[in-house]
Amino acid sequence: MSNFSYLPHTEEEIKEMLKTIGVDSLEELYKDVPQLYKEELNIPKSKSEIEVKREIKEMASLNADISEYGMFRGAGVYNHYIPSLVPQIAGKRSFLTAYTPYQAEVSQGTLQMMFEFQTMIAELTGMEVSNASMYDGASAMAEAILMSARVNKKNKTLIAETIHPEYMEVAKTYVEPQGFSIETIKHTDSGKIDINDLKSKLNDDINSVIIGYPNFYGVIENIKKIKEILPQKVMLIVVANPMALGILEAPGKLGADIVVGDGQPLGNPMAFGGPSFGFFAVNKKDVRKMPGRIIGETVDEDGKRAFAMILQTREQHIRRAKATSNICSNHAHNTLLASIYMTIMGKEGFSEVSEQNYHKAHYLAKKLIETEKFEMAFSGEFFNEFVVKSKIPVDELNKKLFEEKMIGPLHLTKFYKEKENYALFCATELTTKEDIDYLVSFVEGLI
């Protein structure tokens, strides 16, 4: 037996494990871990609650608050206004229930919230069915590839090279170990995919084509035109920014077969990049191939309206090989925030926010170009993000902007080594005209 009663492994089992992996001891196994415990730990002496609270407040005051900065960066996580009612309602005890509503009779509030969320996502995307959410936009896109393969039994996906690079990495991690392959579609000077390149890569092995709406560069793709050239069995997956759908035509109405994306813009804080949630919407004919759980409306034994999980083909419920996903789950609290946000905003409010994003980004682009220190990198129409070629070194620009309490654009060399001094700017409804004018005047003063 082990020397520690709380460890399940015997000494013999530990020795067998070490022998199998080729090390002589547990110490050798963990040799890369710093020797933290050789000396006395650097832990301060105990203090009273008053002293601890005072010290923590002093430490917290050193943090930078995003509300104190002008924000000109997006790239997947966006600085949108969250009405005060969203956290207030979401914090009610009736919503903070058990994570998984397996017992419908005691989870009607949670189930109804998920049902309403699904309804709003279906309306927003123009699709017929939505699931109750997924981890995030990247994993939702990867799951869409696997779903396409289940639908048409093909093993190759074409992805626009203008998809978020991190989404691309997640997709490869998901699908390549399962024997599926990914090939990218080039883009033109417009920032949109190269239709001729797409046509040249279409063949009988393709299960799906993936585009952004808008794409990573902020450019708006022509969904209808792309759908028209795809063979009938090739599924069109659209990765959408939900905030853009308040002003752009819904992907489902333009021919999309699957619409996915990240829901962070919908009432979820930036929160250091997460957590957020992924949305996933399809048409009814493909609903049994969709991953995740779906909430449906029914009636109880008294004939009253009730809700229940109607599809949940996950590995907890059926054989792993038959599951539509082995790792997906819904982010219930994050979708609650989104549901409250969309309800509060309503159709008109949502559209107004989308329009503000569009117009403020275009005002920002116009003013930056007028400084003659930037030029547009792509000619395609954009939503609230755009790429410019900068005559000022972008890293130097961002450093100086941060000193002026502005968070500057994303330097695209983070993802593309060849795009030195290409900058991805963003504006949202929280980007004021004063912020933009101050940024522009500051840039004009730089040599």
pLDDT by residue for the chain (447 residues), tens only, comes to: 456 677 788 889 999 999 999 999 988 888 877 766 666 777 888 899 999 999 999 999 998 888 889 999 999 999 999 999 999 999 888 776 656 777 777 788 888 999 999 999 999 999 999 999 999 999 999 999 999 999 999 999 999 999 999 999 999 998 999 899 999 999 999 999 999 999 999 999 999 999 999 999 999 999 999 999 999 999 999 999 999 999 999 999 999 999 999 999 999 999 888 899 999 999 999 988 888 888 999 998 899 999 988 877 665 566 666 666 666 677 889 999 999 999 999 999 999 999 999 999 999 999 999 999 999 999 999 999 999 999 999 999 999 999 999 999 999 999 999 999 999 999 999 999 999 999 999 999 886
Structure-token match 């050789």, residue found: 38
Q: Give the model's pLDDT for residue 43.
A: 80
pLDDT value at residue 427: 98
Which pLDDT score is estimated for 78?
97
310: Cα within 13 Å, side-chain hemisphere: 18
pLDDT number for residue 101:
75
Q: What is the domain class of 84-341 according to CATH? A: alpha beta
What is the per-residue pLDDT for 241? 98
What is the pLDDT at residue 313?
65
Residue 326's pLDDT is what?
63
**How do strand 385-390 and strand 129-130 relate by DSSP bridges?**
unpaired
CA 430 to CA 432: how far, in whole Å? Answer: 6
For the chain, the domains span: 11-61, 84-341
- pLDDT for the residue 447: 65
